[in-house]
């Protein structure tokens, strides 16, 4: 609802776009430093602070609606997102590793993403009645309360490692050196990084799903329901994470074909295939994340994971720019269908790598 709030406050489309730029720049600028902070300081405390920052921003929007408050809110939200990125993955993987269950990482993270997607759907459903009853201040108060709840949940996350347990306190310099050594000296880490960057970055095309739905010719009132179909497919993929990972290459190829056929067909029924595709991509992203975590050392885990997040954001920007440029000549169906190409390339590269590993296991 925030875009509607901005418009009703009197902001022009250009002013709203400038707010989105502030948001993106903040997240980009803090993505890598936040990974360093997570490797040097308490990850749990960062996960407590992250939603509180976002909640403070939402409070500013609701109670002091103006351009400066909106800009400050996006800075706070972007900072909170950056603090969480890399930190959560590192904390969850290391805690699972300490209890002897690192193999559960993909399943746990995938299911949390699935629950998150369904929670967004539920929140979207109740937003309109909340605004109707209590206005934007009521919606802002509910958003702040939800962020406080996230902070409380973060406080109760386990953190058995870290500073203060007999180990030498890490410095920013030592973490940077260790992270650079892993990326530079470990080909497996570099391959896992690129895989995460591409899969997560290209999947930013989900922002265009409503436009894809509308391009099939359905009535505007039917768009939310058909978007929900794709969201459910996405959630099913997250819930299935951790299973059948050895089939990553062929399943990813199938997902790419489903995306292309479902998008290029131009029919509402094709959105079922698009839903399958997004489910596959969600499942594949969890597998790629788990692969990265399994190859990164603990000392710079959050830093390296933040590098992956930074790269994914960069790929997403290319996706947005490509869509904007391509929209001059093609519709949403064609543009989303073309996005299947990177997934096909990744599937082929993964398949060739698996084949070489079987033929030359010593390589």
Residue 126 lies in a domain: yes
Q: Vertex 167, ends 162 and 169: CA angle to 5°?
A: 70
User: For the domain that residue 219 is a member of, what is the CATH number?
Assistant: 1.20.1250.20
pTM of the predicted model as reported, rounded to 2 decimal places: 0.78
Please say if the pLDDT value at position 9 is more than 90: no
Residue 349 lies in a domain: yes
Q: Let me know whether 186 and 233 are in one domain.
A: yes
Residue 167 lies in a domain: no
Token pair for 319: 């996706």
Torsion on CA atoms 252, 121, 69, 34, rounded to nearest 10: -40
- Summarize pLDDT for 270-282 with one digit per residue, the tens: 999 999 999 999 9
- Summarize pLDDT for 186-206 with one digit per residue, the tens: 788 888 888 989 998 888 888
Please say if the pLDDT value at position 360 is more than 80: no
What is the C-alpha to C-alpha distance for residues 38 and 315, in angstroms, rounded to an integer?
Answer: 24
Choosing from 136, 158, 180, the residue where a domain stops is 158
Token pair for 72: 């400050």
What is the C-alpha to C-alpha distance for residues 58 and 64, in angstroms, rounded to an integer?
Answer: 10
Query: What is the reported pLDDT for 171?
Result: 66
- Summarize pLDDT for 259-316 with one digit per residue, the tens: 999 999 888 889 999 999 999 999 999 999 888 888 887 777 888 888 888 888 888 8
Q: Let me know whether 134 and 236 are in one domain.
A: no
Query: What is the reported pLDDT for 80?
Result: 94
Domain extent, residue 209, equals: 172-362
Q: Let me know whether 220 and 119 are in one domain.
A: no
What is the C-alpha to C-alpha distance for residues 220 and 209, in angstroms, rounded to an integer?
Answer: 13
Q: Let me know whether 154 and 178 are in one domain.
A: no
The beta-strand segments (E) located in the chain are none
Q: Let me know whether 133 and 232 are in one domain.
A: no
Q: Let me know whether 274 and 349 are in one domain.
A: yes
Choosing from 121, 136, 158, the residue where a domain stops is 158
What is the percent of the chain where pLDDT is above 70? 92
How many structural domains are present in the chain?
A: 2
Q: Let me know whether 216 and 128 are in one domain.
A: no
* Confidence grade of residue 361 (pLDDT, cut at 50, 70, 90): very low
Choosing from 158, 193, 215, the residue where a domain stops is 158
């Amino acid at each position: 609802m925030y875009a509607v709030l901005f418009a009703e406050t009197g902001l022009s489309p250009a002013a709203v776009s400038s707010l989105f730029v502030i948001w993106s720049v903040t997240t980009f600028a803090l993505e890598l430093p936040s990974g360093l902070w997570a490797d040097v300081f308490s990850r749990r405390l960062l996960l407590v602070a992250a939603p509180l920052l976002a909640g403070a921003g939402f409070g500013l929007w609701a109670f002091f609606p103006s351009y400066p408050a909106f800009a400050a809110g996006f800075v706070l939200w972007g900072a909170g997102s950056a603090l969480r990125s890399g930190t959560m993955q590192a904390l969850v993987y290391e805690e699972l590793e300490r209890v002897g269950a690192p193999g559960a990482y993909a399943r746990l993270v995938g299911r949390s993403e699935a629950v998150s997607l369904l929670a967004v759907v539920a929140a979207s459903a109740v937003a309109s009645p909340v605004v109707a009853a209590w206005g934007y201040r009521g919606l802002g108060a509910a958003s702040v309360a939800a962020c406080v709840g996230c902070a409380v949940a973060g406080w109760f996350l386990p953190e058995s490692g870290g500073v203060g347990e007999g180990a030498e306190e890490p410095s920013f310099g030592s973490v940077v050196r260790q992270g650079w050594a892993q990326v530079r000296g470990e080909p497996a880490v570099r391959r896992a990084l690129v895989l995460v960057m591409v899969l997560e970055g290209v999947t930013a095309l989900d922002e265009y799903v409503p436009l894809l739905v509308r391009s099939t010719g359905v009535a505007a009132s039917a768009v939310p329901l058909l978007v929900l179909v794709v969201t459910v497919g996405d959630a099913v993929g997250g819930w299935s994470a951790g299973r059948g990972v050895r089939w990553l290459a062929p399943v990813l190829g199938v997902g790419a074909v489903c995306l292309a056929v479902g998008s290029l067909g131009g029919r509402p029924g094709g959105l079922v295939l698009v839903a399958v595709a997004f489910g596959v991509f969600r499942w594949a992203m969890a597998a790629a994340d788990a692969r990265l975590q399994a190859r990164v050392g603990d000392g710079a885990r959050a830093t390296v994971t933040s590098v992956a997040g930074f790269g994914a954001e960069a790929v997403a920007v290319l996706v947005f720019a490509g869509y904007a440029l391509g929209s001059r000549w093609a519709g949403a169906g064609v543009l989303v269908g073309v996005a299947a190409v990177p997934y096909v390339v990744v599937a082929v590269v993964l398949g060739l790598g698996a084949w070489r590993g079987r033929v030359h296991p010593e390589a």
